[in-house]
């Protein structure tokens, strides 16, 4: 029989209490009472009862008198023979699933509940008799006797594979190979044949967690009943065999011995606290160290509900075996709610043919847009080069200068074409508008910057061909030509044979050499090593690296276009104006680009924003909340450029918009990584009561500050990005690394706004003293805007970061999702890579604490939200497979923002799973 309802009788009732034999998970009204009857696992256990009513049961017999209650027995019985309704009042059998290790402890808690109900009328003091101790010990013994049964269950296998001290060593050959490396390190670290305690971690391969290794060392030394700080190689080998033992029991014993600092076979709350602090220190979780005492009490409450003051080895094992139960109790917001199999119906026959076919299909599907654009571009260059080459092949000058002239002129034609074309991919306003048209079907707008770079490389090749052929070939041929041959082109040089020097100092030579020089500077400083400051140069040459050098040097190209027009006007062998085609190539693109820049300047002045709130968040992040300019409309996933005239009147920097289109404010989150962002932080956070110099400008310049003394911010945008097309998909997979989560925060908020019911507009105020993101609640205009039908059925957000403090950045959004996403539209998964992967002994205790706290309070210990934090990196293949099974015959948009290395992996998985499943994955990488 299931336990259906909890005891409701009052402690003030008669001596012989009337009670119900049915139990249930406490509701809100009894939440306070439930604290008297056990730990976080109780509600989980009671929930399990409802799912196991057809399984084997046990009969719990309780003996009651006027003053005490004693547990008589816990005996397995068949559920069909359990007749609770006919049970006697004095000996009441209660049906509990026998496959739970908590059967006996629940019975003990029932006893405690009865005792509490039958105690005198006092809420502060409960008097237990000597029989209670016997009941507690009996409950422990019964719970211990059931442990082996649970260990044999399928659900326990995952936990039994944990507690690894040597990562991912699963075979004897691996252990032997690793021991060879340990021996080598021992020889290097040992002094006089002895290895010091503090070098033990480095020797066994735990150099990054030496403190934890010292704890292992001390535990193994205590086993030998010794007190030593140095060991020889033989002792090291003995230690190595123990920590590399693949048996779960052996691992568990070492872990227990680490906590059992006095070696008495029992772990107290203080010892648990010490182990928590050790694990937190190894994983660099300072916040967890501060709460170590609280979490130690949480573990003791769960494993020692009888209050004996200690736990034993088998109880620690019980906690590990019940991990999955704790995890499943967590809200599906961050857990896998769908059972899936590794087998996706992929036949293993003809695997080579299938792989080749898949690769070919992926290549065509993923690159057909780029392919036809590049093919068209290459065809145009080939045609122009051939046309100009053949044209000069027929001219008299060819008899003097040969193929050098024809090649130089052919390259010049492609240069004019590419110098015009390279401006179009950076006309962001035009591209943003085109993204909303059907042109996006044929043109890969997401690759505009990549195409810009490809054209730049083609220009570099064209310059080499053009300049090298002129300077090293046809100029010497012309200067050294015979009078007879020169006569063929004498009219082009006013009958005067030029010298090599005169050719260089003429208009053509000076403009050509100047363009080559300026473009060499601009192209060099635009390379990745210079732009990202990965190239370290000594002062003052270090000023040539970084974004500023790239930005300012790129503006030299404005002078290049002026020189290009002059260079194309003064030609030796072309005299008719319509044959001088340079201006024809570049005029229209140049006009479009000038109009683009003019629009940006005009709009930025019109879009001067008012700073509503500035927050400095952990991990060097600056959150800016600004007023939304009139007429400023954008889509989630787009970005803007910001300029702070106080710092520089020329620098513009792009940042993803983190507010939703329906919000009445505009927000961005800025990571403090460069000189401009550092100065921006100083400008907004330093004391503005006195004048000071910040960066390149004086802070107290009146034209650059508003009435409150805050610096002015100019906004340019919005501009299109791949993520803005998220509404075109059935499901979303959003992957952000660190600050790369920002493009997707706006999408999540927009999805929430679209699922909310219509509400009245709310007037809100901001607090100047509250720096929390959650303190700024805006009135949303979504309520006054007619909602559009939404195609998206599910969104899966994966945020991978190295710093626990990063979770503070978007804590408000995570809380908002957990509180308002009643339809389960959004799944949020936080991954912290600084913590060792689940299963590693260094993170096992943290995993248990996290599961316990989440099960009891519904709050993650790291993020402080209901979104549970996973450790290490996601297993992306499993992520994609799960989404494929959850969304069959659907189109899933995969949007990624972060390091390029992971982008390649996600792109490959998107292609592979598209042809191995019924789900179509389309990969997009944020690139601006």
Query: Would you state the pLDDT for residue 783?
Result: 37
Token look-up 């520089």 returns 648
Q: What's the number of CA atoms in the CB half-sphere (13 Å) around residue 40?
A: 26
Of residues 446 and 58, more confidently modeled: 446
Question: Residue 260 above 80 pLDDT?
Answer: yes
Question: Residue 45 above 80 pLDDT?
Answer: no
Of residues 502 and 855, more confidently modeled: 502
Q: Which stretch, 41-55, 84-98, 126-140, 641-655, has highest mean pLDDT? A: 641-655
List, in sequence order, every residue forming a beta bridge with 800; answer none if it has no partner: 737, 831
Count other Cβ atoms within 10 Å, centred on residue 100. 24
Question: What architecture does CATH give domain 603-697+704-720?
Answer: Beta Barrel (2.40)
Of residues 352 and 269, more confidently modeled: 269
How does DSSP assign 813-841, residue by residue? HHHHHHHH-TT--EEEEEEETTSPPTTBH
What Cα–Cα distance (Å) separates residue 659 from each residue in 440, 722, 743?
25, 17, 10
Query: Would you state the pLDDT for residue 141?
Result: 61
Q: Which stretch, 57-66, 160-169, 368-377, has highest mean pLDDT? A: 368-377
Count other Cβ atoms within 10 Å, centred on residue 761. 12
Burial class (CB in 10 A: 0-12, 13-18, 19+), 631: exposed
Ranges of H-type helices in 161-291 = 172-189, 200-204, 210-223, 233-243, 248-259, 269-282, 286-290
Rounded CA-CA distance 655/649 in Å is: 18
Cβ–Cβ under 8 Å, residues 223 and 813: no
**Can you tell me the mean pLDDT for 171-188?**
78
Question: Residue 717 above 90 pLDDT?
Answer: no
- The pLDDT tens digits for 609-645 are 888 888 888 888 899 999 888 888 888 889 999 988 8
- The pLDDT tens digits for 293-328 are 888 888 888 888 778 888 888 777 777 776 655 555
- The pLDDT tens digits for 91-123 are 333 444 444 434 444 454 454 444 434 444 434
Of residues 781 and 152, more confidently modeled: 152
- The pLDDT tens digits for 454-493 are 999 999 999 999 999 999 988 898 888 888 888 888 888 8
Query: Would you state the pLDDT for residue 437?
Result: 84
* Mean pLDDT estimate for the chain: 75
- The pLDDT tens digits for 754-771 are 776 544 443 333 333 333
Q: Is the peptide bond before 540 cis (omega within 30 degrees of 0)?
A: yes
Question: Residue 600 above 50 pLDDT?
Answer: yes
Output the six-digit token pair for 578: 């319509």
Token look-up 């990005």 returns 721
**Residue 395, by phi and psi: left (phi above 0), alpha (psi -120 to 50) or beta?**
beta
Question: Residue 50 above 60 pLDDT?
Answer: no
Query: Which fold is adopted by the domain 727-755+790-925?
Result: Rossmann fold (3.40.50)
Percent pLDDT > 90 in the chain is 16
Q: Return the exposure string of 271-292: e unless at least 16 CB atoms fall within 10 Å of the residue's CB, then b.
A: bbbbbbbbbbbbbebeebbebb
List, in sequence order, every residue forming a beta bridge with 897; answer none if it has no partner: 736
Question: Residue 555 above 60 pLDDT?
Answer: yes
Residue 408: pLDDT band (50, 70, 90) is: very high
- The pLDDT tens digits for 782-825 are 333 344 456 788 899 999 998 888 888 888 888 888 888 777 88
Q: What residues contact residue 93 under an 8 Å CB cut-off, 6+ apart?
A: 59, 60, 61, 77, 82, 83, 84, 87
CATH class of the domain comprising 171-330: mainly alpha
Residue 857: pLDDT band (50, 70, 90) is: confident
List, in sequence order, every residue forming a beta bridge with 893; answer none if it has no partner: 732, 922
Name the 3-class secondary structure at 608. Answer: strand
How does DSSP assign 391-453, residue by residue? HHHTSTHHHHHTHHHHHHHHHHHHHHHHHHHTTGGG-HHHHHHHHTSGGGGTS-GGGHHHHHH
Residue 351: pLDDT band (50, 70, 90) is: low
Query: Would you state the pLDDT for residue 162?
Result: 60
Q: What residues contact residue 690 under an 8 Å CB cut-off, 6+ apart?
A: none
Query: Would you state the pLDDT for residue 174?
Result: 64
């Amino acid at each position: 029989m299931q336990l259906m309802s909890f005891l409701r009788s009052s402690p003030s009732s008669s001596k012989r209490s009337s009670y119900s034999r049915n139990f249930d998970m406490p509701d809100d009204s009894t939440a306070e009472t439930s604290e008297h009857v056990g730990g976080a696992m109780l509600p989980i256990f009671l929930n399990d009862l409802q799912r196991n009513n057809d399984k084997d049961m046990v009969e719990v017999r309780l003996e009651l008198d006027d003053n005490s209650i004693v547990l008589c027995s816990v005996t397995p019985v068949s559920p069909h023979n359990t007749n609770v309704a006919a049970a006697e009042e004095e000996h009441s059998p209660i049906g509990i699933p026998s496959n739970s290790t908590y059967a006996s402890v629940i019975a003990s808690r029932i006893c405690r509940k009865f005792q509490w109900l039958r105690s005198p009328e006092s809420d502060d003091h409960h008097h237990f008799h000597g029989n209670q101790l016997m009941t507690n010990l009996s409950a422990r013994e019964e719970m211990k006797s059931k442990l082996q049964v649970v260990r044999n269950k399928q659900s326990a296998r995952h936990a039994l594979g944990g507690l690894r001290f040597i990562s991912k060593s699963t075979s004897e050959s691996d252990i032997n190979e690793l021991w060879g490396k340990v021996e080598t390190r021992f020889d290097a670290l040992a002094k006089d044949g002895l290895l010091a305690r503090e070098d033990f971690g480095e020797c066994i391969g735990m150099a990054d967690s030496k403190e934890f290794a010292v704890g292992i060392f001390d535990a193994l030394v205590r086993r030998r009943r010794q007190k030593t700080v140095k060991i020889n190689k033989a002792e090291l080998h003995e230690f190595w065999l123990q920590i590399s033992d693949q048996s779960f029991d052996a691992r568990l014993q070492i872990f227990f011995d680490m906590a059992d600092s006095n070696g008495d076979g029992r772990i107290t709350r203080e010892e648990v606290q010490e182990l928590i602090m050790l694990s937190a220190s190894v994983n660099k979780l300072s916040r967890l160290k501060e709460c170590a005492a609280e979490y130690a009490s949480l573990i003791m409450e769960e494993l020692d509900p009888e209050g004996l003051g200690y736990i034993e080895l088998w109880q620690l094992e019980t906690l590990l075996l019940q991990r999955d139960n704790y995890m499943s109790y967590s809200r599906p917001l961050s857990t896998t709610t769908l059972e899936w199999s590794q087998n996706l119906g992929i036949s293993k026959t003809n695997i080579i043919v299938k792989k080749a076919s898949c690769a070919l299909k992926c290549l065509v599907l993923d690159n057909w847009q780029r392919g036809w654009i590049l093919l068209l571009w290459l065809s145009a260059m080939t045609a122009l080069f051939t046309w100009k080459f053949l044209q000069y092949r027929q001219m008299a000058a060819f008899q003097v200068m040969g193929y050098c002239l024809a090649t130089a002129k052919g390259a010049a034609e492609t240069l004019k074409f590419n110098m015009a074309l390279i401006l179009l991919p950076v006309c962001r306003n035009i591209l943003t508008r085109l993204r909303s048209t059907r042109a996006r079907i044929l043109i890969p707008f997401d690759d505009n910057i990549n195409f810009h770079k490809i054209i730049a490389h083609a220009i570099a090749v064209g310059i080499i061909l053009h300049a090298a052929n002129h300077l090293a070939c046809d100029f010497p041929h012309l200067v050294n030509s015979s009078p007879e041959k020169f006569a063929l082109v004498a009219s082009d040089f006013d009958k005067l044979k030029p010298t090599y020097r005169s050719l260089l100092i003429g208009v053509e030579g000076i403009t050509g050499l100047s363009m080559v020089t300026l473009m060499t500077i601009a192209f060099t400083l635009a390379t990745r090593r210079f732009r990202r400051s990965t190239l370290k140069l000594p002062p003052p040459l270090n000023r040539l690296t970084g974004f500023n050098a790239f930005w300012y040097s790129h503006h030299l190209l404005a002078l290049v276009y002026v020189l290009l027009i002059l260079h194309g006007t003064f030609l030796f062998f072309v005299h008719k104006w319509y044959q001088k085609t340079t201006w024809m190539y570049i005029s229209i693109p140049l006009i479009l680009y000038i109009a683009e820049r003019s629009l940006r300047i005009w709009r930025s002045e019109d879009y001067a924003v008012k700073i509503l709130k500035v927050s400095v968040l952990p991990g060097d992040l600056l959150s800016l909340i600004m007023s939304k300019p009139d007429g400023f409309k954008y889509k989630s996933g787009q970005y803007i450029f910001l300029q702070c005239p106080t710092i520089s009147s020329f620098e513009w920097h792009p940042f993803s918009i983190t507010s939703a289109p329906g919000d009445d404010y505009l927000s961005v989150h800025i990571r403090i990584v460069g000189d401009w962002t550092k100065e921006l932080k100083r400008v907004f956070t330093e004391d503005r009561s006195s004048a000071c110099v910040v960066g390149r400008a004086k802070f107290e310049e009146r034209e650059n500050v508003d009435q409150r003394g805050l610096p002015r911010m100019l906004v340019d945008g919005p501009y299109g990005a791949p993520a803005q097309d998220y509404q075109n998909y059935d499901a979303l997979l959003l992957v952000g690394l660190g600050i790369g989560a920002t493009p997707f925060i706006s999408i999540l908020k927009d999805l929430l706004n679209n699922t909310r019911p219509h509400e009245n507009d709310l007037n809100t105020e901001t607090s100047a003293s509250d720096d929390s993101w959650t303190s700024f609640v805006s009135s949303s205009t979504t309520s006054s805007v007619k909602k559009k039908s939404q195609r998206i059925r599910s969104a899966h957000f994966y945020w991978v970061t190295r710093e626990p403090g990063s979770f503070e950045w978007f804590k408000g959004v995570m809380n908002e999702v957990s509180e308002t996403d009643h339809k389960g539209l959004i799944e949020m998964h936080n991954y912290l890579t600084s913590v060792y992967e689940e299963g590693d002994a260094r993170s096992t205790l943290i995993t248990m604490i996290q599961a316990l706290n989440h099960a009891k309070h519904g709050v993650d210990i790291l993020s402080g939200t209901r979104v549970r934090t996973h450790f290490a990196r996601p297993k992306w293949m499993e992520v994609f497979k799960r989404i494929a099974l959850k969304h069959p015959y659907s189109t899933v948009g995969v949007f990624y923002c972060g390091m390029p290395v992971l982008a390649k992996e996600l792109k490959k998985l998107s292609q592979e799973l598209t042809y191995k499943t019924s789900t179509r994955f389309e990969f997009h990488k944020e690139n601006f």
